[in-house]
């Protein structure tokens, strides 16, 4: 949850009122698919009652829940603070390569790209007619707000299922629907990786040399900030040789989700999976999404609760096992590739934590540095486990 000021809350309330007024005129065309294209254009005289039923804050966005003509809709808008910060940028901007794998984009670019991506996903998976997979039905893009309007999916995120199992204790089992959901999520990702790209999709990091260079940039950055020199020295010696010996010159690439994690995967009572929050901006090595998912299972909060020790939990092992089974089926797991890309993902997270700790001021800086010290201990332990996997 991001820190919210009074100005942030006032801006959210104002945006909610503006969205309500906009939906009153635009919503009629969402529910009259049999009308002509001209009829579906919003008109001042054609309105529907719109009720704002809730607001959910995310790190980089705000979700507004509406009820329109007995239909549950969600409008996803960039958060006010992020919108103001990026509005000053021109075009795409990137933090240094050592801090991010991909550039960040202006909010209005992100919104329209996500709108196009979700529309393409809907068409692609509708054509499959596979009951294991659902779709987010996007209804509109609201350019004046950089926002998407979509139907609300009646399902829980896999993150909630996972959190419930953790609260129940170390021996708790995941519900059968969630276990099936994680397996279906792996199959969903494989199908998504094979889908055609969009007009804005670009290819990156398709060679093993790209991975080698990326790993070394992260190591250089962390080393320059005094982070665990012995471990970084060991990785600098081991990783380039592992990349060269364990990966082919050209890596298998696919349409990259970019944030494939339990909080972006909705699961219903049958295990049916619906994926959210992608711009389909890149074709990239397939292992990036899989590594991102693995890293998302042990977020920073878990490392804080365990005093920096990497949490060893049966639910995490089962979740990842189910996902990989859904993705690879009977194929042999490419363990070396998965380990190398997981190391890259963890180095990226580590570098971002260092960057944000250095950028903070006053008491927030002290708090972030203390948090960094605990979390980096867990990240280092996970990376060490990955390097042991490479030697196995």
Which CATH number does the domain housing residue 144 bear? Answer: 3.30.200
**Ramachandran area for residue 304 (φ above 0: left; ψ -120 to 50: alpha; else beta):** alpha
Residue 303 to residue 383: CA distance in whole angstroms: 14
The domain boundary residue, chosen from 95, 127, 151? 151
Same domain, 267 and 282: yes
Calculate ∠ Cα 86-91-94, nearest 5°. Answer: 70
The domain boundary residue, chosen from 124, 151, 178? 151
Same domain, 70 and 165: no
Query: Are 23 and 35 contacting, i.e. CB atoms less than 8 angstroms apart?
Result: no
Same domain, 339 and 217: yes
Same domain, 344 and 379: yes
Global confidence as pTM: 0.87
How does pLDDT run across 61-120, given as a tens digit for each residue?
A: 899 999 998 899 999 998 754 444 444 443 444 445 446 788 777 766 888 999 999 999
Query: Are 118 and 136 contacting, i.e. CB atoms less than 8 angstroms apart?
Result: yes
How does pLDDT run across 11-20, given as a tens digit for each residue?
A: 899 999 999 9
Which CATH number does the domain housing residue 206 bear? Answer: 3.90.1200.10
Give domain status of residue 133, yes or no: yes
Q: Which domain holds residue 70?
A: 6-17+49-151
Same domain, 144 and 174: no
Provide the 8-state DSSP code for 281: -
Give domain status of residue 34, yes or no: no
DSSP-derived secondary structure for 194-240: TSPP-TT-EE---BHHHHHHHHHHHHHHHHHTT--HHHHHHHHHHHH
Same domain, 181 and 219: yes
Q: What's the number of domains the chain is made of?
A: 2
Give domain status of residue 31, yes or no: no
Same domain, 142 and 174: no
Nearest to 101 by CA among 323, 346, 375: 346
Residue 316 to residue 178: CA distance in whole angstroms: 12
Residue-wise pLDDT tens for the chain (392 aa)?
455 667 778 889 999 999 999 999 999 888 765 444 444 444 444 678 999 999 998 878 899 999 998 899 999 998 754 444 444 443 444 445 446 788 777 766 888 999 999 999 999 999 999 999 999 999 999 999 999 999 999 999 999 988 887 777 666 678 889 999 999 999 999 999 999 999 999 999 999 999 999 999 999 999 999 999 999 999 999 999 999 999 999 999 999 999 999 999 999 999 999 999 999 999 999 999 999 999 998 754 433 333 444 444 555 788 899 999 999 999 999 999 999 999 999 999 999 999 988 888 888 889 999 889 888 998 999 999 999 989 87
Give domain status of residue 363, yes or no: yes
Give domain status of residue 191, yes or no: yes
Give domain status of residue 215, yes or no: yes
Give domain status of residue 250, yes or no: yes
């Amino acid at each position: 949850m991001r820190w919210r000021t009074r100005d942030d809350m006032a801006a959210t309330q104002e945006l909610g009122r503006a969205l309500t007024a906009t939906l009153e005129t635009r919503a009629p065309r969402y529910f009259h698919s049999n009308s002509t294209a001209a009829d579906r254009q919003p008109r001042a005289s054609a309105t529907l009652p719109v009720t704002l039923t809730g607001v959910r804050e995310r790190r980089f966005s705000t979700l507004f829940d509406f009820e329109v003509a007995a239909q549950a809709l969600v409008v996803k808008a960039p958060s006010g603070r992020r919108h103001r910060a990026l509005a000053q940028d021109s075009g795409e901007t990137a933090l240094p390569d050592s801090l991010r794998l991909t550039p960040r984009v202006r909010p209005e670019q992100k919104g329209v790209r996500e709108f196009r991506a979700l529309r393409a996903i809907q068409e692609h998976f509708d054509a499959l007619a596979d009951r294991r997979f659902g779709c987010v039905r996007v209804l509109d893009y609201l350019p004046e707000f950089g926002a998407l309007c979509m139907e609300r999916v009646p399902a829980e995120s896999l993150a909630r299922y996972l959190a419930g199992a953790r609260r129940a204790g170390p021996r708790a089992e995941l519900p059968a629907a969630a276990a099936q959901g994680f397996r279906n999520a792996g199959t969903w990702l494989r199908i998504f990786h094979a889908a055609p790209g969009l007009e804005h999709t670009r290819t990156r990091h398709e060679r093993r040399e790209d991975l080698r260079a990326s790993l070394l940039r992260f190591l250089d950055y962390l080393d320059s900030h005094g982070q665990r020199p012995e471990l970084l020295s060991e990785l600098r010696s081991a990783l380039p040789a592992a990349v060269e010996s364990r990966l082919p010159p050209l890596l298998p690439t696919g349409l990259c989700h970019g944030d494939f994690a339990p909080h972006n995967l909705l699961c219903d009572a049958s295990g049916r999976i619906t994926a959210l929050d992608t711009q389909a901006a890149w074709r990239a090595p397939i292992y990036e999404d899989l590594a991102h998912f693995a890293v998302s299972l042990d977020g920073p909060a878990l490392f804080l609760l365990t005093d920096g020790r990497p949490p060893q939990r049966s639910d995490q092992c089962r979740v990842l096992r189910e996902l990989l089974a859904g993705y690879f089926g009977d194929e042999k797991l490419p363990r070396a590739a998965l380990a190398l890309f997981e190391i890259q993902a963890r180095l990226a997270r580590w570098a971002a934590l260092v960057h944000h700790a250095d950028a903070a001021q006053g008491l927030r800086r002290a708090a972030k540095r203390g948090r960094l010290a605990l979390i980096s201990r867990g990240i280092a332990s996970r990376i060490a486990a990955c390097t042991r996997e490479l030697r196995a």
